[in-house]
Structure 1
Amino acid sequence: MQNNSFLHFLLFFSFFFFNLSVINAQTDIIESYEDYTEAPREVVYSHLNKSTYIEGEILGFTSYVFDKFTKATSKQTTNLYCTISNEDGEVLKKKLIRVTDGIASNVFDIDSTLSTGIFTFKAYTNWMRNFEEHNHFEQTFKVIDADNKSEIKPIDKKDIKVDLQILGEGGHIIYDIPNTIGIIAKNQFGYGIANAFGKILDENENVISEFQLNDVGLAKVLLSPKSNTNYNVVLDLNGDTVSTPIKGIKQNGFNLTLNQTKDAVKVLLKANKNTNSNLQGKGFNVGLHNGNKIVLAPFSFNEDGTAILSFQKTDLFKGINIITIFNENNTPLLERLYFNLTDINQREIDNVSVSSKQDSLFFNLKINEKIDIKNSNISISILPTGTKSYNHHNSILSQIYIQPYINGFLENGGSYFKDKNRKTEYNLDLLMLTQGWSSYSWNTIFDKNEREYIYPFERGIDVVANINDDKRGSYIVYPLAESKTQLFDVEESEDEFTIKQSFPTDDDLFRIGYIDTKRKEFKKKPSVYLQFYPSQFPDFSIPTKSIKETYSIDDTYLKNETNLNAFDLYNANKLEEVVINAKANTVETKVEKLREKAIVAKFRVIEENVKLTGMRVDTYLQRLGYDTYYDILSGRLSIVNPRIRWTDPTPLVYLNSALLTTQGRFSEFGILTFITMDQVDYIEYETYGIGGGIRGGAGYIKIFTTPGGSQINKPNNVVDYKVPLVFSKNKTFYTPKYSYYNTDFFREYGTIDWQPNLKFNNQGESTFKYKSNSTSNTTLFIEGFVNDNEFISQEIKIEKNN
């Protein structure tokens, strides 16, 4: 939007027009709105490397947290909560990850916890929980267990259920005047019924109008309903029909119709005869806002019950524009969304060069347009061209510019930003028409109760150390993995001190030492009680419903008619017909097992802070997911892999390459109880029985001690404190190994590589490499930003032969 103190737009009527200077008189709406929107907002987008996974792969993701209004990366929050839940909403996996300069990345293992089925990934900040708007990120994905599933079959057409909805433009349908009607047809998974034809019939089966749905199941049509007449919408699905009545047509009232020219957007308000006389002499207001700023202007209806409001496109907000009509009591009556594509900040990578060296491919990406790059980040999923495992409905652009402002979820939201042509503009406005009211509730905005933002911004974890007795002196807080030693001098009048913005990870313990400065003693232990903020993983309770990832639905609904009145009425481009082979629904993909799972081997290098704890190695193994039990009387130690239920759950355990496992669960592991973590260099382990040999059905644990290392004793004046909530370490993404790379299965569901954090240099170049395989053609799915508020969302196809 231009840098005006307020948005200038003209309201044209047949007899008079009002100037925007009178907007200051509309204090109630403006003050309520400004009070509601004064608190900052965040919006998060997460780029997942795929939407279909094979058990044993890794889900890689990069999350971007933005200021909702400026579109720049957020500097407010460092804590991002990520969860994976099943179809019942039960959270199966969760991670707290650190956001740095608006960017965070990590992985989830697709292990036996996520068996074949549909799951939901969510990402949110604590601050987002204060608002009803859809500012978080949510996406479904599916998992296939190759051990228990042999084929991937498309959904059968007979199993599809259609939900057909009718919506009047602006929210109302009125008798005896022309109305623009929005048609929405979705299946039970949330996908649109693509390209189907339909018609509106009156109660005598007369055809009033015809329409064709677009590729996400949306259409609009004109209807002038006659009083006391019933109407139905009928959808033709290749011989089958779905029908629903048009309900809620009002005897009195006025409606809204939005039309646009090259330079302007015009809103026609029209009342029927029953209402016209009641409108004369009454004042109305039109509000235009984008979730941040609002402008307001009065208007009235002329003698024939019409009003025309005109907005110059150059003066509209960039992106979403929410137009609301209020009566004299400031009650919202109608609302229409409009999206202004002008000046959406998109950048493109338009030069890609590829070279090979030994067994690797080297990529160089370049933004040819000269640009001063201050900061940037892109994430790239590299998949075989023709993949069926990348079905994301939100790109970084649609998640930032559209999703937070609408009710419901977008289907194929990224398509609205790919080609800026007449067809895209038509489909985008059709989306805005069929959304109804925006995600901003006027009941909430007008609520006079004082607003409380009970969920604060979070920047790491704050720790309040409460001193239990009269211990004046110096308290030493030892460093975590990413912090420095801190010293707190406590006077007699003080009973606490605070450690700000700490970032403990999985292996960290808070270690605090005490020095009695009065007596110069170094042997007393601190006596403090620690309180952590935050201390637990927060639930995300805002109700949402997402499009469900499912198997392919290879079906379309087309017929040979060439005369399409509904689209002709709006000067729309007729959708091209697509010929689909009738046998397409019978195509099945054979599932292949991974030759080697991506999560097969894990390494845990023991950090210094863990060494200093003096923890026994068998206790540390519990952190890695094993069950250990030490019998003090017998000195026997048992180690069990709880993930294994089909065979002996005792893993192969090695100490410096010497095998300790002899007789399964009766093996003698007691020697490990004499080893503490300060003696351990690193541990390699595998939890799924892959690569452990015939006896390694429960996986293996390989413990390597520090060569020539000596025990490090913890000082007497130091106490360890367990942290209730920690940040997940940024784990490495491993590409799984497949038995074959030239099969339909790999081309449709295989993973080539994932690059979560790539930067551009000052010349606008970014480089990466990955290990080559026999795949001939690949596609780069790229999402990210440049200079805070310029975005990249591209698919680039690479032909290996070229």
Structure 2
Amino acid sequence: MDSNNEIITLFKGNKFGLGKFVFKPQKGKNYHCKITLKDGEVITKKIESITHKGIGLNVINHKLKNTIININTNEDTLPELINESCYLIIHRDGLIKKIEVPFIKNKLNYSFKIKKSLLHSGINIVTLLNPKMKPIAERIIFNDYNSPIKNINVKEITKEKDSSIIKLQVTDSEIKNINLSISVLPSKTKANKHNSSIVSSLLINPYIKGKIENPWYYFNKINSEKKYNLDLLLLTQGWSKYYWGDIFNNPPKISYNFETGFLIKGKINTTFKKGDKMIVQSKENGFSQESVISKEGIFTFNKLFIAENSTINFSLKSKKEKYKKPKIYYNIYPTYIYNLLRINKKDNPNSIFLSEDLESFTFDKKAIILDEVKIKSANVKPKPKNSPRGMFLAKHINFENIQNQSTLITEKLRPYFNVSNNGGVVSITSRRYRSLYTQSKPVVFLDNVNISESLDIIADLRVFETEEMFVSTSNSSIYNAAGVIHLYTKRGVSKPNENKYSDSTVGFGFSIPKKYYNPIYNELNEENFKSYGVLNWVPNLTRDENGELSFKISNKFDGPINLYIEGIYKDGFLFSKIKTISSHISF
């Protein structure tokens, strides 16, 4: 409304209370907003800071293939801009594109139509710089072209006696090594009220001031209305991660170097020759690295992800690829310093209370006591004890019942590959030819550690030391190799060439994920369970040996449930979806 209380324009907020309006103020007039809330309350707010000179930035982003950027000025401002150029900077996190805006006499409006394919995927910050390269206007938009968000659906539900198997399907068949987190809750749950998802946390939250109400809304079944509402969110709450005044007046300084994992720096105390290398590897942590030893005997390993209380092994490797146990000392950075309070423990007989009411330990009022049950064993094919990724079509060989336990493992590989084991030097090549003259090699893992460049480690490995083996002779696009071999040694059995390695246990490191156990509930169909109960949580769902993404849920709860599906793929693709299942049969 203007100073005469005449209506200039009307607007209405969306379901989240966000809205916008556009108007052109005139000289000599004052303006105010009159906002009527749902409960009838009226808020009046004066529109301030209206200046006679300036440049306006307007972005239209809900079009299908193009983003339109409009720059407007007025007759009072244009004379100062003629023969000068402003610049549109489209940027985000170091990515930047620049468009020059030359101002022309008698032209007040400038429009740029930009293909979304030319913008950065996801968030784009559009900043208008004046001829002196100072920012004068800014806008944040979201580009959904080539979106990293991928779709995932429930493919099939199979009901068994006490549980149901739910299979998921990724719409993009090329996505293989996916990691998903699945939370299974009653659909009426009051417990899951998180105002975040993996999509909003990675793509939106860093550029938003405040919280996002219902972040699932914007990226589930996306349509033009949701794109418009997301644009309103960014227009209202979007902000740069920095304040321009600080950037120009007090440029930030790097106080600490960026840390990724742990760094090991050490020195060798045994004789070595020029060209020798130090090898560090760890079965528990799944890494194997080489480091060139300096003439002073110094070696360094970077970006190691070491779990707490895990073992790492060191070996000295010569030019002829011979290994021997080295004498070394080393430090790990950053070092964790234990700072524990020592407390004298006192016995307190009243600290433990034992209940004599055994009825209170009954989990279900419907429970009954069973008679003695006899269980007879049946001959079944041993199931794999390990589950290497990407090997769901591989052949599984269990060595438990092999008669000749002293056979070399390299002999067991001969039916699948060309294998040579002469004098401790091992060579494995594929029987499939890439060309007429060249052969390709498989990638080989020992206890999940890649040993493809150090195959002599398994030169003396025998069947009695090995638990199982997975072999795939098919070309692997993941490892760019002609086949994959996974070998797993038995626990408690000495490893091959262990006299060539020095072991060391690291008492600190990254925390190891704890296994999730479902709580035991007395009754699954009570209102409290429907509001706050949990049916299952699968924190790291990957494809099984058949290539399926599947998990189980209990059949004891017969009401509708919600699947909260979130995950990520190595190329940066994201998955985020809430799927409601009316029963364990239909969906």
Question: Which of 559, 562, 565 is the matching residue for 1:782?
Answer: 565
Q: How far apart are the structure 1 equivalents of 2:121 and 2:293?
A: 54
| 1:460-499 correspondence runs (5 A) | 461-465=262-266, 481-482=284-285, 494=296
* Residue pair 1:463, 1:531 contacting (<8 A) in 2 also: yes
Partner of 2:40: 239
1:294 matches 2:102: no
Q: How far apart are the structure 1 equivalents of 2:232 and 2:48?
A: 21
The one-letter amino acid of 1:776's match is G
Q: How far apart are the structure 1 equivalents of 2:68 and 2:281?
A: 65
Q: How far apart are the structure 1 equivalents of 2:72 and 2:46?
A: 24
TM-score w.r.t. the length of structure 2 is 0.60
**Structure 1 380/202 Cα, relative in aligned 2: closer, same or farther at 3 Å?**
same
The one-letter amino acid of 2:334's match is P
Q: State the 1:219 CA deviation.
A: 0.4
Deviations along 1:761-792, one digit per CA (max 9) or x if unpaired, are 69863111133323422111111134624332
Deviations along 1:90-124, one digit per CA (max 9) or x if unpaired, are xxxxxxxxxxxxxxxxxxxxxxxxxxxxxxxxxxx
Deviations along 1:230-275, one digit per CA (max 9) or x if unpaired, are 5244342402334433332223212122235555333332223432
Q: How far apart are the structure 2 equivalents of 1:722 and 1:800?
A: 46
1:756 matches 2:539: yes
Q: How far apart are the structure 1 equivalents of 2:146 and 2:290?
A: 51
| 1:414-453 correspondence runs (5 A) | 414-435=216-237, 437-439=239-241, 452=254
1:735 matches 2:518: yes
Partner of 1:256: 57
Q: How far apart are the structure 2 equivalents of 1:267 and 1:484?
A: 49
1:307 matches 2:110: yes
1:362 matches 2:170: no
**Structure 1 247/360 Cα, relative in aligned 2: closer, same or farther at 3 Å?**
same
Partner of 1:323: 126
| Sequence identity percentage | 27
The one-letter amino acid of 1:349's match is I
* Residue pair 2:291, 2:301 contacting (<8 A) in 1 also: no
Partner of 1:794: 577
Deviations along 1:298-318, one digit per CA (max 9) or x if unpaired, are 321541533222323444333
Q: State the 1:409 CA deviation.
A: 3.9
Deviations along 1:576-635, one digit per CA (max 9) or x if unpaired, are xxxxxxxxxxxxxxxxxxxxxxxxxxxxxxxxxxxxxxxxxxxxxx99x99774xxxxxx
The DSSP-based 3-state class of the residue aligned with 1:751 is coil
The DSSP-based 3-state class of the residue aligned with 1:212 is coil
* Residue pair 2:154, 2:166 contacting (<8 A) in 1 also: no
* Residue pair 1:373, 1:762 contacting (<8 A) in 2 also: no
Q: State the 1:423 CA deviation.
A: 1.0
**Structure 1 223/745 Cα, relative in aligned 2: closer, same or farther at 3 Å?**
farther
Q: How far apart are the structure 2 equivalents of 1:421 and 1:489?
A: 55
Deviations along 1:442-480, one digit per CA (max 9) or x if unpaired, are 567768979647332413x2344579xxx7679999979
Question: Which of 289, 314, 335 is the matching residue for 2:138?
Answer: 335
TM-score w.r.t. the length of structure 1 is 0.45
* Residue pair 2:70, 2:109 contacting (<8 A) in 1 also: yes
Q: State the 1:726 CA deviation.
A: 2.3
Q: State the 1:330 CA deviation.
A: 0.8
Question: Which of 6, 11, 15 is the matching residue for 1:215?
Answer: 15
Partner of 2:155: 352
* Residue pair 1:628, 1:640 contacting (<8 A) in 2 also: no
The one-letter amino acid of 1:252's match is K
Question: Which of 372, 389, 402 is the matching residue for 2:174?
Answer: 372
**Structure 1 532/243 Cα, relative in aligned 2: closer, same or farther at 3 Å?**
farther
* Residue pair 1:286, 1:298 contacting (<8 A) in 2 also: yes
Q: How far apart are the structure 1 equivalents of 2:57 and 2:580?
A: 44
| 1:571-590 correspondence runs (5 A) | none
* Residue pair 1:483, 1:502 contacting (<8 A) in 2 also: no
The one-letter amino acid of 1:223's match is F
Question: Which of 179, 197, 204 is the matching residue for 1:402?
Answer: 204
Q: How far apart are the structure 2 equivalents of 1:735 and 1:271?
A: 63
Q: How far apart are the structure 1 equivalents of 2:525 and 2:341?
A: 38
**Structure 1 209/762 Cα, relative in aligned 2: closer, same or farther at 3 Å?**
farther
Q: State the 1:504 CA deviation.
A: 5.0
Partner of 1:180: none
**Structure 1 731/626 Cα, relative in aligned 2: closer, same or farther at 3 Å?**
farther
**Structure 1 417/726 Cα, relative in aligned 2: closer, same or farther at 3 Å?**
same
Partner of 2:361: none
* Residue pair 2:280, 2:290 contacting (<8 A) in 1 also: yes
* Residue pair 1:233, 1:246 contacting (<8 A) in 2 also: no
Question: Which of 78, 89, 93 is the matching residue for 1:276?
Answer: 78
**Structure 1 395/764 Cα, relative in aligned 2: closer, same or farther at 3 Å?**
farther
After alignment, is 343-352 or 738-747 more displaced?
Answer: 343-352
The one-letter amino acid of 2:52's match is Q
Q: How far apart are the structure 2 equivalents of 1:639 and 1:734?
A: 33
The unaligned stretches of length 5 or more in structure 2 are 273-277, 316-326, 355-491, 493-501
Q: State the 1:388 CA deviation.
A: 2.0
Q: How far apart are the structure 2 equivalents of 1:759 and 1:215?
A: 37
* Residue pair 2:265, 2:301 contacting (<8 A) in 1 also: yes
Deviations along 1:657-680, one digit per CA (max 9) or x if unpaired, are xxxxxxxxxxxxxxxxxxxxxxxx
1:770 matches 2:553: yes
**Structure 1 800/331 Cα, relative in aligned 2: closer, same or farther at 3 Å?**
same
Deviations along 1:59-94, one digit per CA (max 9) or x if unpaired, are xxxxxxxxxxxxxxxxxxxxxxxxxxxxxxxxxxxx
Q: State the 1:754 CA deviation.
A: 0.4
Partner of 2:214: 412
Partner of 2:461: none
* Residue pair 1:626, 1:640 contacting (<8 A) in 2 also: no
Q: How far apart are the structure 2 equivalents of 1:485 and 1:270?
A: 59
Q: How far apart are the structure 2 equivalents of 1:761 and 1:230?
A: 64
The one-letter amino acid of 1:271's match is T
Q: How far apart are the structure 2 equivalents of 1:481 and 1:639?
A: 38
The DSSP-based 3-state class of the residue aligned with 2:152 is coil
The one-letter amino acid of 2:527's match is D
* Residue pair 1:286, 1:299 contacting (<8 A) in 2 also: no
The one-letter amino acid of 2:168's match is L
* Residue pair 1:258, 1:265 contacting (<8 A) in 2 also: yes
* Residue pair 1:378, 1:782 contacting (<8 A) in 2 also: yes
Q: How far apart are the structure 2 equivalents of 1:219 and 1:290?
A: 25
Q: State the 1:511 CA deviation.
A: 11
The unaligned stretches of length 5 or more in structure 1 are 1-200, 514-525, 538-621, 630-637, 642-646, 653-708, 710-717
* Residue pair 2:85, 2:100 contacting (<8 A) in 1 also: no
Q: State the 1:280 CA deviation.
A: 2.8
Q: How far apart are the structure 2 equivalents of 1:533 and 1:263?
A: 49
Q: State the 1:410 CA deviation.
A: 2.8
**Structure 1 797/244 Cα, relative in aligned 2: closer, same or farther at 3 Å?**
same
* Residue pair 1:382, 1:779 contacting (<8 A) in 2 also: yes
**Structure 1 290/462 Cα, relative in aligned 2: closer, same or farther at 3 Å?**
closer
The DSSP-based 3-state class of the residue aligned with 1:371 is coil
Q: State the 1:801 CA deviation.
A: 5.2
Give the number of equivalent residue pairs.
Answer: 423
* Residue pair 2:155, 2:169 contacting (<8 A) in 1 also: yes
Q: How far apart are the structure 2 equivalents of 1:223 and 1:431?
A: 20
